Structure 1
Amino acid sequence: MREANLRCALQVAAVVLAAFPHTAYSTSAQTPSILTQPQEDFRDVSSSAVAKDLQERGIDPFTDTRAGLRTGFISYDMVVSQSHNLNSDQKGVTDAAHALNAGLAYAQLTSMVEVRTSKPGARIRYKLVGGGFPTEAMARLTNASDDSLPIGIYEFWSERAGVETSAHLSLRIIKPKVTVDLEERDNQ
């Protein structure tokens, strides 16, 4: 009986590892990185992911009566449901992202955001997606950088000595605690 239980446990572990090879373990010869740990994917900035996170925090974006929140969400939903890219320069996309982020400000909720890189010491920059929002920097360098940010759809990237070292990632920052892993380019 004990051998059958062990065999079953090994089969389950093999299925999990096969299903999530990029998050469950590292196959490289390098030292495993913090970037290989499984996490929720906050890169999903779809309106359904935003709505789900908001509902978990007690806000129904379809019925909320706060000025701007409901209309901002509906505008955003209409644009992203048509598969528009948030990094697009199209005015409608920029306006919808701006409307959502401006509306989310009325919720007056924050998220504790921790940003990590495989090598400590990077400066983390971020801004709300949509026109007119300023670029800001986290107070501390990685891997000790965490800040309380107003909820919204953000763009994050890393820099070293004033040079960008990672791609810009659009992420939904709505849950109470969010961990962001930025992959820096190797030549840095």
Structure 2
Amino acid sequence: MGRPRAFDEDEAVRAAMDLFGGRAYDGVSVDDLVHHLGVHRNSLYKTFGSKRGLYLIALRRHLADDVRPLCDALAGAPDAAAVLRLVTSAELGLLLLATVERAPVDEEVAGEVTAALTAVDRAIGDALGVPADLATALTAAALGILLRGNPDTVATALSDHLGPLT
């Protein structure tokens, strides 16, 4: 009989989400995971299979815990400024890094990212009553604003200068 697991798997996945969301997949070594998660290397491999296995679990948890609630919140957005505020205030670091770093080289990650971004597009389109291509452009703009680090300034400028964008 094996020894009982000496760590909380849920806590380890959450810690991995934070680590991958802050430093990306290639910026995190197995040693970083072992140290940051507080697990032994053998336990990490036995539980998650590999660094990639843990990454996929962390990405899926991020999509479930952060992106899905964002999509639900977007349903009540009254205008584009509110959409921008919701998207740019969400914790989306892991999604953004997965989009630019892993999706181009990992089909499984690409599938997860595409599904998540499509869900955000759909939620924005439904909230604002705009066509799919415009919703996709709004998603791209909101994520770009998030990447640039000035979401409040942009949302305020939109509201002040253009009024409600519906």
Q: TM-score, normalised by structure 1?
A: 0.27
Structure with the largest fraction of helix: 2
Highest CA radius of gyration, 1 or 2?
Answer: 1
Structure with the largest fraction of strand: 1
Q: TM-score, normalised by structure 2?
A: 0.29
